[in-house]
């Protein structure tokens, strides 16, 4: 074998970014949900002005907010001394930082997913599907998935006469956070709350954002005593957590409604959500930061035989806050 006595100098090959990379709009929902912004060979500026490459009509966004620079060594994000900062995975960008495949870029109230893998087209379509079942802000499942999951579990509960519990809760005085500090603080509270609660949810259960500041948890194979204990644990965990947004210390508590079924009565997804919603409303009216339920649900004979009447509550509380 001949001896190799020379070293060839080669130019480094560009990594799979640049023209193959893109940003996907994942929050807030609306006509821009799922919109893809291709990243080519030139810098891309994001901001509120119409002359930006990605214009955003959002008062929390500066006129020239951030710049994205595709290079042979990766894609870099620079904050352009914006008022509210630029964030990658909820970590504020100081100066210029690299962004990696799958990272989340937050500019004002808007969140984008950065895709730069070997098959961006496939990743994009996978991300679009994910957006149909996952909430863009909190990264937990959304209302649509919650309904589907509840439908399946209620059928299974009735078929096998197994216990099932549903926990519905929302943030106390959440509107006050938005009104006094701003919607960025409200979004922060929702994200942090979801992250705080997620760790307490078992793999076989489901944690989802029901809408606005309301969240739901489906507890499979969970009898009433355990469901109430779980709800109390969630309430205490949230109350003890420190929520700090910029210089503001937020006091965040939750009110919770709990309902259980042993699978011995016909109950629909609409039924169980309405009962939990009524108990959540009762928790609000009786002082907030508390758990109401699970009490017994008295079903009429028609419902036990598969009729269509709604369940009648034992110990009814205030009226429903909304119609389903």
Q: Around Cβ 173, how many Cβ atoms within 10 Å? A: 14
Q: Give the chain's residues under pLDDT 50.
A: 11-19, 296, 298-324
Q: Strand (E) positions, the chain?
A: 21-27, 36-39, 44-47, 54-55, 66-71, 74-79, 86-88, 91-92, 96-99, 104-107, 110-115, 164-171, 206-211, 214-220, 243-245, 248-250, 254-261, 291-292, 297-298, 312-313
Which of 94, 246, 127, 228 lies closest to 184 in space, CA to CA? Answer: 246
Give the dihedral sign, CA 293/319/141/220: positive
The pLDDT of residue 1 = 53
* Whether 52 contacts 64, CB under 8 Å: yes
Q: How is residue 217 annotated by DSSP?
A: E
The pLDDT of residue 295 = 74
213 in active site: yes
Q: How is residue 134 annotated by DSSP?
A: B
Instruction: Give me the residue label for tokens 């034992």.
Output: 314
What φ, ψ does residue 221 adopt, rounded to 5°? 50, 40
Catalytic member of 103, 213, 277, 295: 213
What φ, ψ does residue 57 adopt, rounded to 5°? -85, 85
Name beta bridge partners: 261. Answer: 164
H-type alpha helices, 10-166: 120-133, 143-160
Instruction: Give me the residue label for tokens 């309902």.
Output: 259
């Amino acid at each position: 074998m001949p001896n190799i006595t020379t070293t060839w100098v080669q130019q480094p090959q560009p990594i799979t970014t640049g023209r193959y990379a893109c940003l996907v709009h994942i929050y807030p929902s609306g006509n821009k949900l799922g919109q893809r912004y291709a990243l080519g060979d030139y810098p891309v500026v994001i901001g509120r002005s119409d002359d930006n490459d990605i214009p955003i009509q959002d008062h929390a966004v500066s006129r020239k907010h951030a710049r994205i620079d595709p290079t042979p060594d990766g894609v870099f994000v620079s904050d352009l001394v914006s008022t509210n900062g630029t964030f990658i995975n909820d970590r504020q960008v100081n100066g210029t930082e690299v962004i990696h495949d799958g990272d989340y870029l937050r500019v004002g109230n808007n969140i984008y997913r950065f895709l730069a893998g070997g098959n961006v087209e496939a990743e994009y379509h996978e991300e679009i599907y994910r957006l149909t079942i996952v909430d863009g802000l909190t990264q937990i499942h959304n209302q649509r998935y919650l309904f589907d999951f509840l439908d399946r579990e209620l059928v299974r509960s009735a078929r096998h006469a197994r216990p099932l519990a549903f926990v519905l809760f929302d943030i106390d005085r959440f509107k006050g956070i938005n009104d006094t500090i701003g919607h960025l603080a409200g979004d922060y509270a929702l994200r942090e709350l979801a992250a705080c609660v997620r760790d307490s949810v078992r793999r076989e259960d489901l944690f989802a954002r029901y809408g606005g500041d309301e969240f739901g948890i489906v507890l499979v194979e969970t009898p009433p005593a355990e469901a109430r204990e779980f709800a109390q644990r969630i309430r205490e965990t949230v109350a003890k957590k420190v929520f700090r947004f910029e210089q503001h210390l937020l006091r965040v508590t939750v009110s919770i409604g709990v309902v259980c079924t042993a699978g011995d009565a016909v109950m629909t997804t609409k039924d169980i959500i309405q009962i939990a919603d009524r108990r959540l409303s009762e928790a609000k009216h009786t002082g907030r930061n508390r758990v109401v339920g699970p009490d017994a649900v008295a079903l009429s004979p028609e419902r036990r035989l598969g009729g269509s009447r709604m369940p009648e509550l034992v110990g009814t509380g205030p009226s429903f806050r909304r119609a389903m």
